[in-house]
Amino acid sequence: MDHLTRLENKSIYIIREAYYQFKDIAMLWSVGKDSTTMLWLCRKAFFGHIPFPIIHIDTSYKFPEMYRFRDERVKEWNLDLLIGRNEEKLNEGMGPTQGSKLDCCNELKTNALKLVIKKYHLKAILLGIRRDEHGIRAKERYFSPRDSQFKWDYENQPAELWDQYQSMVEEEEHFRIHPILHFTELDVWSYVKREGLPIVPLYFSKNGKRFRSIGCAPCCSPIDSNAQTIDEIVEEIRTTKTSERSGRAQDKENIYTMQKLRALGYM
């Protein structure tokens, strides 16, 4: 079995087991390359039709290309899309320049997700995070549920499987499942190529710049790049020395730093 097929099998196994364990499950789709890959894997896992809803947390600050891509895929793949928006805060004018960026992320992402989870009584969420991503995601781990009844955390790495996505969810009443944790950035692009997956055009170079990681438009910056095709992106990633999230890393680090300081009362 080749490398990508092995990765694919592992992910599909996790997705199916997750669905088997939790019927009140949903998948979080940011419309970026990773969660789009996960979405594709979910389709494969259930032979084309995903039996659970897909959540898009809409901060209202996403790139227009992302909304367009989302709506096209929903139609094409017949997705059960739930949109999570913190309408109350949006009506109050919350945005990255209105309050602090930390508050903006907290309200429009964390709390928007909480609202969706509550509204639809979800018990588990599939997340497209990867172990090789910026360390604030992959290494800042909370505690694995020691007395977990789940037997399918194979490879004996529960702490890794249940790796927390701290900025996203504070409530512990549901599980987070990470089916593509074992993919690297390079794997994702190689897989996108192999599968002929559609991808938001922001990832491809325009006027010498492209986005390596996408999120809210005001908080993302493109990198210098001439990669206009997936092959060129793969080649670029193979040789690059800078981190994937360099366009977002500092902001993200600051947000996490603030959270850490706040938790101890230093801010």
Name which position in 24, 87, 88, 170 contacts another protein (CB under 8 A). Answer: 170
**DSSP tag of 216:** B
Which one of 52-60, 110-118, 160-168, 194-202 is the stretch in contact with another protein (CB under 8 A)? 160-168
Q: Answer positive or negative: Cα dihedral of 194, 196, 200, 205.
A: positive
Binding mask 64-103 for another protein (x = CB under 8 A): ----------------------------------xxxx--
In the bound state with another protein, the residue whose beta carbon lies nearer, of 21 and 259, is 259
d(CA 86, CA 83): 10
d(CA 54, CA 81): 5
In the bound state with another protein, the residue whose beta carbon lies nearer, of 134 and 210, is 134
In the bound state with another protein, the residue whose beta carbon lies nearer, of 98 and 228, is 98
Number of H helices, E strands in the chain: 11, 7
Name which position in 4, 12, 90, 159 contacts another protein (CB under 8 A). Answer: 159
d(CA 198, CA 181): 21
Which residues in the 115-154 window bind another protein by CB under 8 A? 134-136, 139-143
Query: Could you give the C-alpha distances from 169 to 28, 106, 252, in angstroms and in order?
Result: 12, 10, 16
CB 219 within 8 A of CB 178: no
267 binds another protein (CB under 8 A): yes
Using alpha carbons, select from 91, 163, 123 the residue that is nearest to residue 21.
123
Which one of 49-57, 59-67, 167-175, 181-189 is the stretch in contact with another protein (CB under 8 A)? 167-175
Enumerate binding residues for another protein (CB under 8 A).
Answer: 98-101, 134-136, 139-143, 159-160, 164, 166, 170-172, 253-254, 256-257, 259-267
